[in-house]
Amino acid sequence: MVDLRTELAGLRLRNPTMLASGFLDETGGSLVRVHRAGAGAVVTKSIGPEPREGYANPTVVEIDGGLLNAVGLPNPGIEAFVPELEEALAAKALVIGSVYGKDAAEYALVAGRMAEAGAAAIEMNLSCPHAKGLGTEIAQSEEAVREFTRAVKDAVDVPVFPKLSPNVADIASFAVAAERGGADGIVAINTVKAMSIAPELRMPVLANRYGGLSGPAIRPIGVRAVYDIYEKVDIPVIGVGGVDSGHAALEYIMAGARAVQIGTALVDQGLGVFERVTKEMGFLLEDIGFKGVAEAVGVAHE
């Protein structure tokens, strides 16, 4: 029997599948369902200091090979979210709190409250387009990534995992910046900036015009990013982008990830995707001669 357990900065996961942020993770009831469906850990919707409605619809477009979305960070704000988090924790889910803010202090504030309420780790959503004074996403300034990571690290005692954007020339240098800021792990990748146009109407479909692409279409980009990051940092990497099978998960694992996040595959496969991917990883690892996930991490570099 293949050992599917994995470990991330002291967090012990029963298997390497995690729920990606932005999917079924705004309410306690949904987080509990995903936990019961077999996810090794669940990441919450990105939560900020205040309630936020997000963008107008259309916010999601189904396209070949994935999903394009611009939901605009809707969330109930950290105070209203705490009871939802507590509901998930009461069901013994391993919960990682995703946070965003307009400046480092807001990130630290929300992360602090999230950790205090029981989140096992903090994921930093750095692709927030509303950051004050940067004129761009935090994720596109190495200095900001380091500073914001440092601010969150100083605010909490749990592991901190910045989630990096692929919309940069050299993602590995951002991972290095995050590691210098004290990050305990790296999540890669966030969505790829993209657009879909309705020719009949001569306009972009998303109300926000631009959106983030997820799903199998971006998997090779994610695998390459994880591969590059693994070469440059010593902290664990969590792979995300188009994982929809055990085979896809192992691409990330062999590129250097110790766990993978799953989101878009929920559309076609539903909640069964976590158990299916985990089982497939087990069969495939056994078939190719591995005793566990841990020994497969990064083997594509050898």
Partner 1 sequence: MSRMQVVPLLELVKESHHTTTYRFRADLGGAAGQFIMVWIPGHDELPMALSYLGPVKGITVHAYGDATRAMQAFRPGDRIGVRGPYGNTFRLEGEKVLAVAGGTGMASVIAAIEAFAQQGAEVTTAVGARTAEELLFVDRASASGEVHVSTDDGSRGFHGFVPSLAERLLEKHKFDQILTCGPEKMMKLMVDLANKRGIKVQASVERYMKCGIGICDACAFDDRLVCVDGPVFAGPALAASRDFGAYRRTKDGRRIEL
Minimum CB separation of residue 259 from partner 1 in Å reads 20
Minimum CB separation of residue 83 from partner 1 in Å reads 9
Which CB, 54 or 118, lies closer to partner 1?
Answer: 54
**∠ CA 210-215-219, rounded to 5°:** 110
Which CB, 70 or 176, lies closer to partner 1?
Answer: 70
CB-based contacts of 135, cutoff 8 Å, min separation 6? none
AA letter at 25: D
AA letter at 69: N
Structure tokens at 40: 């090794």
Euclidean distance between CA atoms 298 and 302, whole angstroms: 8
Minimum CB separation of residue 67 from partner 1 in Å reads 8
Which CB, 57 or 135, lies closer to partner 1?
Answer: 57
Which chain residues interact with partner 1 by CB under 8 A?
22-30, 32-33, 45, 51-54, 56-63, 67, 69, 71, 74-77, 80-81, 198, 200-201, 203, 205, 207, 263-264, 266-268, 270
Q: 71, 128, 171, 172: which one is catalytic?
A: 128
Active site residue 128: yes
Which CB, 110 or 144, lies closer to partner 1?
Answer: 110
Which CB, 88 or 158, lies closer to partner 1?
Answer: 88
Minimum CB separation of residue 61 from partner 1 in Å reads 6
Which CB, 207 or 300, lies closer to partner 1?
Answer: 207
Minimum CB separation of residue 107 from partner 1 in Å reads 19
Minimum CB separation of residue 182 from partner 1 in Å reads 30
Catalytic sites, residue numbers: 128
